[in-house]
Amino acid sequence: MNRNSDVKNGEILFLYDANMCNPNGDPDEENRPRMDDVTRRALVSDVRLKRYLRDYWFENENTLNIRDVWVRKNDNGNVTTADNRLKDLKKRYKEITGRDPEDKDSTGDFKNWLLDELIDVRLFGAVMPIVSSKTGSKSGGHITYTGPVQFSWGYSLHPVEINPSNSITSTFAGRESQGKGEYGTIGKDWRVMYALIAFYGVISKARATKTNMKEDDLKLLRESLIKAIPAQSTTRSKIGQVPRLYVEVDYTGDFQGIGDLRDLVELKPESKSASEEIRGTKDYIIDMKNLQEKLKQIQDKVASVYIWVHPSLRIINNTDLPKESRIEI
């Protein structure tokens, strides 16, 4: 049975930058940063963004008071398969409730229990294979939840350059059993010089009732988007990524929104030089005039505006975003 939700329809604008790193490598292109070859803009998939969030939740479950995450790593550091995750969850459900999740009388209760347990399913949805815990075989069916929160692919707000020096050599100690001493490899180390990446997201109150998502889940999402990327981008190729701006507009009634918020913000280079010479926040400002004017036009539809700005990001025309409903994060 679906439960009532306090979530409103909403839209999200999220900006973070990548400085001399690889925000989202393409395995089919020697892990080269994903790019739009026509516009020379860096691309980042929504899957990459959600992976940052899920890994952050998984590693901080106790601190954040999170019960569980559907997509999580096993002891070897690899993502656990969906089949194994569902088997583990069924086993835990039976241990906690004393009921068999495969009994017809338990089906609805088990599904609600899954939603209560899994923060990422409540937010992003999931497709779960139906596997019999008694036979270990698949029945061919699946449980599908469409997430109330969805993100588009992210792209940089300006043309991006890739570092020209991309070959690296690595030297490793040989295995003792082979006694071969040291050996080396040559690989590619693709990085963007600098990219300010923008994501657009939507929040659906109708879908929130299907996954039992609550306002507290959205609160966690807001805080996690700001904290997850610095906490998770700590590998050699990922370090150098910093959140810069979060804006969430929640609407009244059934109003769906105004469309991709990225179209309503503009990156303006600080100097007259080409925008591809941007190397950091000191080289540009973000103008939110168009977003400000659009929200004023529909101010009767705006329930609240959540905003967080990194101290280093310079913004103009953001102070007049609907003041009565503006909430600083």
Q: Hey, how many other C-beta atoms are within 10 angstroms of the C-beta on 310? A: 17
Helix ranges (DSSP H) in the chain: 46-59, 61-64, 82-97, 107-117, 119-124, 205-211, 215-232, 289-297
Range with lowest mean pLDDT among 156-160, 171-175, 305-309: 171-175
Q: Is pLDDT above 80 for 2?
A: no
Q: What is the mean pLDDT of the chain?
A: 88
The per-residue pLDDT for 108 is: 84
Is the Cα dihedral 311, 264, 302, 8 positive or negative?
negative
Between residues 19 and 272, which one has the greater pLDDT?
19
What is the rounded CA–CA span in Å between residue 324 and residue 246? 18
Q: What is the pLDDT of residues 128-156, one digit of tens each?
A: 887 555 545 555 567 899 999 999 999 99
The per-residue pLDDT for 30 is: 86
The per-residue pLDDT for 290 is: 97
Burial environment of residue 114 by CB neighbours within 10 A (0 to 12, 13 to 18, 19 or more): buried
Q: How many CA atoms lie within 13 A of 199 on its CB side?
A: 25
Q: How many CA atoms lie within 13 A of 119 on its CB side?
A: 24
Beta-bridged to residue 242, according to DSSP, are 17
Give the list of residues 6+ apart from residue 24 with CB closer than 8 angstroms, or none: 33, 34, 42, 43, 44, 45, 48
Q: Which amino acid is at 93?
A: Y
How much is the CA Rg of the chain, to the nearest whole Å?
Answer: 23
What would the two tokens of residue 111 be? Answer: 């599904």
Q: Is pLDDT above 60 for 163?
A: yes
The answer to whether residues 305 and 322 touch, using CB atoms and an 8 Å cutoff, is yes
What is the rounded CA–CA span in Å between residue 238 and residue 188? 14
Residue that is written with structure tokens 């050699």 in the block: 236
DSSP, residue by residue, 107-145 = HHHHHHHHHHHBHHHHHHEEEEEEE-TTT--EEEEEEEE
The per-residue pLDDT for 112 is: 92
Between residues 28 and 262, which one has the greater pLDDT?
262
The answer to whether residues 153 and 260 touch, using CB atoms and an 8 Å cutoff, is no
Three-class SS state of 171: strand
